[in-house]
């Protein structure tokens, strides 16, 4: 039986970040996670006037990859993603579908943060914080792939996150209700 989740790096994606994301998915959801070899960025998804990639086009591309036998696929990108109704998105996934995509692009940034005012002790923080944020976005998108909707509980990784500050307040786990729904979805797909 093939592992439940495949992570597909698209373009330049740090290997350590992929391992952290895979470890969090495996640990939180008790799923087998494979990190597949990287693929080039899908250039038809690039929107020149926005200087961003359309997440929906990336997801369609991932769904068309017949050589991936995994039940769920999450594309990990280092470029900025958008959906036509949003200026940017951290990630997107087909509800109950096979594929989703997430971006690391904005995860190491703070809104309006002046890099010259970061203390020496905080210099190590951005990379670790970006990996934690990446794990949260990945868990959230995997939740959508297993048919979870946004949760009203602010103490659940499935709670909607409109920006970095919201994302930072989210925990790195699912609430009991979402976890129950996930386990039911796992049983149904087995």
Beta-bridge partners for 54: 82
Secondary structure percentages of the chain, helix, strand, coil, to 5: 40, 20, 40
State residue 190's pLDDT score: 64
The whole model's pTM is what? 0.89
Maximum Cα–Cα distance for the chain, whole Å?
Answer: 52
Residues 6 or more apart whose Cβ sits within 8 Å of residue 37? none
State residue 113's pLDDT score: 53
State residue 47's pLDDT score: 96
Instruction: Show which residues are catalytic.
Output: 141
Backbone angles phi, psi at 72, to 5 degrees: -130, 140
User: How far apart, in Å, are the Cα atoms of 110 and each of 13, 167, 175, 186?
Assistant: 20, 11, 26, 35
State residue 31's pLDDT score: 92
State residue 149's pLDDT score: 97
Q: Domain 5-106+126-189: what homologous superfamily? A: Collagenase (Catalytic Domain) (3.40.390.10)
| pLDDT digits (tens), the chain, 190 positions | 345 899 999 999 999 999 999 999 999 999 999 999 999 998 999 999 999 999 999 999 999 998 888 999 999 999 999 999 999 999 999 999 999 999 999 998 665 554 444 444 444 455 788 899 999 999 999 999 999 999 999 999 999 988 898 999 999 999 999 999 999 998 887 6
């Amino acid at each position: 039986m093939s592992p439940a989740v495949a992570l597909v790096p698209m373009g330049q994606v740090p290997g350590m970040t992929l391992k952290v994301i895979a470890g969090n998915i495996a640990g939180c959801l008790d799923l087998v996670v494979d990190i597949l070899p990287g693929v080039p960025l899908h250039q038809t998804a690039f929107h020149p006037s926005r200087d961003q990639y359309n997440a929906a086009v990336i997801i369609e591309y991932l769904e068309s990859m017949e050589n991936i036998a995994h039940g769920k696929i999450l594309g990990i990108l280092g470029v900025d993603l958008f959906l036509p109704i949003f200026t940017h998105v951290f990630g997107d996934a087909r509800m109950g579908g096979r594929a989703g995509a997430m971006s690391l692009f904005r995860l190491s940034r703070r809104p309006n943060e002046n890099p010259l005012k970061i203390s020496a002790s905080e210099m190590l923080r951005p990379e670790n914080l970006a990996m934690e944020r990446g794990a949260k976005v990945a868990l959230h998108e995997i939740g959508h792939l297993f048919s979870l909707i946004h949760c009203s509980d602010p103490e659940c990784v499935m709670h909607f996150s409109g920006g970095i500050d919201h994302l930072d307040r989210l925990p790195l786990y699912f609430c009991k209700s979402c976890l129950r729904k996930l386990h039911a979805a796992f049983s149904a797909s087995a």
